[in-house]
């Protein structure tokens, strides 16, 4: 839990290590950029080489045992979205996570689901 460690610096000071240091300077993920609401799930039953991965990779893996959205993971880990997208792309290329792309809206208007959404919102 790197975000909750004691610091004598407050948040105003900004990160001591610039976020992209976590990605070794990479600012673009390998492969396709993951959508904010793509769901990521750790692939089960695979031996993870914990030594070759960064703590943030491992944190992400443990956070997506159940399907989790990219946006949720970034907010939970309190890391910038772009950084999390790169780290997840690493895990994807190592085949440690499965990515479920959201249904494009062009195919979505499944009226049943939209009606359910409208009704659900009304009931909030």
Q: What is the binding site for other proteins (CB under 8 A)?
A: 18-20, 27, 33, 35-37, 39, 41, 43-45, 66-67, 69, 71-72, 74-75, 78-83, 98, 100, 102-105, 108-109, 111, 113-118, 120-122, 124
Nearest distance, CB of residue 96 and other proteins, angstroms: 11
Q: How far is the CB of 89 from other proteins (least distance, A)?
A: 14
Reading the block at residue 45, the tokens are: 């039953």
Cβ-based nearer residue to other proteins, 51 or 95: 95
Q: Return all residues near 31 (Cβ < 8 A) that are at least 6 apart.
A: 89, 92, 93
Q: Smallest distance from the beta carbon of 123 to other proteins, in angstroms?
A: 9
**Whole-number minimum distance, CB 17 to other proteins, in Å?**
12
CA distance 113 to 108: 8
Which of 24, 53, 34 shows the shortest CA–CA distance to 102? Answer: 34
Answer whether 32's CB lies under 8 Å from 87's CB.
no
């Amino acid at each position: 839990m790197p975000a909750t460690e004691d610091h004598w610096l407050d948040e105003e000071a900004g990160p001591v290590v610039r976020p992209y240091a976590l990605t070794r300077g990479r600012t673009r993920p390998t492969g396709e950029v993951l959508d904010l609401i793509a769901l990521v799930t750790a692939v089960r039953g695979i031996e993870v080489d914990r030594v070759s991965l960064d703590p943030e990779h491992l944190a992400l893996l443990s956070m997506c045992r159940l399907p989790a959205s990219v946006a949720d993971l970034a907010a939970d880990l309190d890391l910038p979205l772009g950084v999390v997208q790169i780290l997840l792309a690493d895990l994807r290329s190592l085949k440690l996570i499965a990515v479920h792309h959201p249904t494009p809206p062009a195919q979505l208007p499944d009226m049943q689901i939209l009606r359910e959404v409208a009704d659900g919102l009304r009931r909030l």
